[in-house]
Structure 1
Amino acid sequence: MNISRTINLLAIIIGGAIAIYAQAEEKQDTYLLIGGIVILMFGIYRTSRNIPSKYDKAEEESFVKTEKDED
């Protein structure tokens, strides 16, 4: 597995775990919750940055081809 993917996965897992832990206590620690969400969003951002957009691709040929009218 690529080191970048490992960092992304760890950031998502650790951030999610911290956010859940901060929410689970009787007296919620707001700063810990915000820190967990920031780490979670950092991992999600880094992951989504590597996914190509479907709109960046050139027009692909479709199965249906149009014919020019000859008049």
Structure 2
Amino acid sequence: MNLSRYINIICIIIGGAVAIYANAEAQQNSYVLVGGIVLLMFGIYRTSRGVPSKFDNPKEESFIQTEEDDD
């Protein structure tokens, strides 16, 4: 795994942990909660940039290939 993937995973884990911690307290700190959510979303965004779109190749619309008849 490369460094960029580690950074994404760390952002997601730390952001989720901070958001859960800020939301679990009786007296919620909104700024910490928003910061955790921003860090979480930043990690998710960076991860999703590397996932290719399923619409990149319009010829392959499904996994089922049909045979053409020569009639």
TM-score bucket of the superposed structures, by smaller chain:
0.7 to 0.9
Instruction: Give the CA deviation at 1:66.
Output: 2.4
With the length of structure 1 as denominator, give the TM-score of the two structures. Answer: 0.86
Return 5+ residue gaps in structure 2 as ranges: none
Which has the higher Rg, Structure 1 or Structure 2? 1
With the length of structure 2 as denominator, give the TM-score of the two structures. Answer: 0.86
Return 5+ residue gaps in structure 1 as ranges: none
Aligned residues: 69
Aligned residue runs from structure 1 range 1-71, under 5 A: 1-60=1-60, 63-67=65-69
> Which sits farther off after the overlay, 60-69 or 13-22?
60-69
Cα deviation digits, residues 7-64 of structure 1 (max 9, x gap):
0000000000000000011100000000000000000000000000010125239521
The share of aligned pairs that are identical, in percent, is 59
